[in-house]
Amino acid sequence: MRWLSDNALERLREAAEWPDLAGTRYEAIEQIGQGGMATVFRVRDTVLDRMCAMKLLRLPDDTTGIGPRLRLESRILADLEHPGIVPVHDAGELPDGRPFYVMKFVRGQRLDDVVHDGVDLAERLRIFERVCEAVAFAHSRGIIHRDLKPENVMTGEYGEVLVLDWGVARVLVDRDGGDAESDAAHDVAAEADRPVTRHGTVLGTPGYMAPEQASGETGEIGPAADVFALGGILWFLLSGEHPLADSTDYMPPVSVAVPPRLIAISQKAMAPVPSDRYASVDLLSADIRRFLEGNAVGAYRETLWDRLGRLARRHRVAILLVLAYLLLRVVLIFFDRR
């Protein structure tokens, strides 16, 4: 008996995952991403002659029950019409039975690459505000992302900021404001969320998962879990370092100077107890806005010197003009007396 080499097995696996798009309007170009449950391909829409991204189940034989969650993800995205959330164009099922959905193909950089490219602090914080806007909108629709991290944020070539990968999102209320878990739209929610996110199942990324999420207590996971993850993203934007997992102090030592007010904002967002965090994403974003505007932030208790320093930075142009004027007066007085 001849055994197949590792390379041959890898080629067979890739061939099995490559989608058969016969009978659809799409043509597969290349694989651009892969996760535990799904693969993303760049495809061409042959009708509109444009590039799109197609997300589909990795293998036709869905023994994990992930298929319903992928369908749910497409319906969640279809409901989240917002400039900061990638739009869905189409959804369906391939000839081999794999569910798929088609979305905008985003040209740009992941947020972790943006940080390492040396974008200045003010621009990083403005990007963070845009991320908060998208997440706050999702929360207003009763949807929790549950896997926010720099790798799931893209900055487009025209300045757009998009939150991606809603594959483990949780739907808390339906579109009409009911309290059933979920709009998941009726039978899809029941089919998708229960087997995949049953009690004790941990979904998310270490370092960005809130303690209640890491413990597997799915019934305790709400908007505060996303606030925690946003605090982790903020820390990454400030320091270039991922938050620590399994620690009461999530912020590792860094070699860069981080403004204390921003450290306090990140710490408040990442408080271990949900009630100690910002009560909403909007409040977190508001503190960032206050920092950018040179105002006091709610998460940081200023000393007198802190306040004087902040006011000096905020009004430094006016202060420099006054100092220049006073210096000029001193010079004139000096020469008048000679």
Supply the residues annotated as catalytic: 147
Distance from C-alpha of 298 to C-alpha of 287, rounded to nearest angstrom: 6
Q: Give the C-alpha distances (Å, rounded to integers) separating 58 from 22, 36, 66, 97, 276.
A: 17, 8, 10, 11, 40
Q: Give the C-alpha distances (Å, rounded to integers) separating 102 from 75, 129, 186.
A: 12, 27, 22
Q: Give the C-alpha distances (Å, rounded to integers) separating 268 from 8, 21, 283.
A: 51, 48, 11
Distance from C-alpha of 191 to C-alpha of 66, rounded to nearest angstrom: 10
- Neighbour count for residue 108 (Cβ, 10 Å): 16
What are the DSSP calls for 167-225, one per residue?
TT-EE-S-TTS--SS-TTTTHHHHHHHHHHS-TT---S-TTTS-HHHHTT-GGG-SHHH
Contact 297, 264 (CB under 8 A): yes
* Phi, psi angles (nearest 5°) of residue 159: 90, 0
Is residue 40 classed as helix, strand or coil in its secondary structure?
strand
Q: CA angle, corner 166, sides to 141 and 213, nearest 5?
A: 85
- Provide the Cα torsion 229, 234, 235, 237; round to 10°: 130
